[in-house]
Amino acid sequence: MKVAVLKGGISAEREVSLVSGAECAQALRGEGYKVVEIDAHPDRIADDLKAASPNVVFNALHGDWGEDGEVQGVLEQLQLPYTHSGVAASKLAMNKEWAKDIFALHGITVPQGRVAPRHEIAQGGLLPVPYVVKPNGSGSSASVYIVSHETEDLLASIAGDEGLGEVPVIEPFIPGRELTVSVIGGKSVCVTEILPRGEWYDYDAKYADGGSRHVVDVDLPEAVTQLALRNAETAHRALGCQGVTRADFRLNDVDWPENPSETDVVNGLVMLELNTQPGMTPTSLVPEQCLHRGMGFGALCRWMVEDASWPRRAQDRQKPRASAR
């Protein structure tokens, strides 16, 4: 069975994707698959895939074009079984404001922010400090600002940062703890707490050596653990996701009593976003959680290939056209 691994791409997360793709390709070769690696680009992706003629496409792209429904649309047109979520779910998850609205409709607590033109945010005064400014449609914590004081230099940086897009998200800063939950095939794995070396979980904390420490299956109040697992599954279903996703939360337990009430837990566990193309190296958060539950990196990559389908929709699903290795 031949698997085409898409990596690289054209987004600000290209370097991360190159690493994810190379690691996944190596793992799949170890599982007995014939693998071709494709440095994906919109101008040539269709021709490259036709030339490779794979049975399944493993999407290891991140960011714009690879994660927002665009490359998924190409794969649908080519009628190739592929991994991760389909067009609609990918597009919804990539738009943080749309996704938050859907999560809130399903009873999940989300930050009470909004989108606003970058030049308007840069004038200051839209929200009380501290607040967060971030792109509405990208990941990896690139171009994210924690505004604790509205200085002229910081507001000027926001005004000039094209990485934010024209209409970024602005929302209150949620104090507390950084948590994440992987969902595999619709079922939550466990809760990890992320302890960044710096003040918050920025790009360096995610990708630099020693940038953060992960506490897998962290010891939390049982009500918090169960709600995090449940909300991650609910969010996955609400957007129509498939395959693997990762839900990111902030737990605002700063002023909690020793025995928090149900209201404390529901209001304190705030969902930030759902990632439909989470990082895929052996030390990334999703593989780390799966390993903790006994599924090694190779087995996880194999599961994703076996889960691939076309059309990639929750309600009209077919298995890959060829299943023999």
- Whether 261 sits among the annotated catalytic residues: the reply is no
Instruction: Give me the catalytic one of 68, 70, 248, 264.
Output: 248
- Alpha carbons 84 and 90: distance in angstroms, whole number: 9
- Alpha carbons 216 and 193: distance in angstroms, whole number: 7
Instruction: Give me the catalytic one of 59, 140, 143, 284.
Output: 140
The tally of CA atoms less than 13 A away on the side-chain side of residue 104 is 11
Instruction: Give me the catalytic one of 246, 250, 302, 312.
Output: 246
The b-or-e profile of 227-253 (16+ CB within 10 A means b, else e) is bbbebbbbbbebbbbbbbbbbbbbbbb
Instruction: Give me the catalytic one of 23, 202, 273, 307.
Output: 273
- Whether 13 sits among the annotated catalytic residues: the reply is yes
Residues with Cβ within 8 Å of 154's Cβ and at least 6 positions away in sequence, in order, are 145, 147
- Whether 140 sits among the annotated catalytic residues: the reply is yes
Amino acid letter, residue 69:
G
- Alpha carbons 302 and 296: distance in angstroms, whole number: 10
Instruction: Give me the catalytic one of 8, 113, 279, 298.
Output: 279
- Whether 279 sits among the annotated catalytic residues: the reply is yes
- Whether 30 sits among the annotated catalytic residues: the reply is no
- Whether 248 sits among the annotated catalytic residues: the reply is yes
Instruction: Give me the catalytic one of 82, 131, 145, 207.
Output: 207
Instruction: Give me the catalytic one of 8, 13, 70, 137.
Output: 13
- Whether 82 sits among the annotated catalytic residues: the reply is no
- Whether 90 sits among the annotated catalytic residues: the reply is no
Q: Do the Cβ atoms of 269 and 109 come closer than 8 Å?
A: yes
Q: Which long-range contacts (CB under 8 A, 24 or more apart) does 127-131 make?
A: 127/170, 127/171, 127/172, 128/172, 130/172, 130/173, 131/170, 131/171, 131/172, 131/173
Indicate which residues carry an active-site annotation. 13, 140, 207, 246, 248, 273, 275, 279
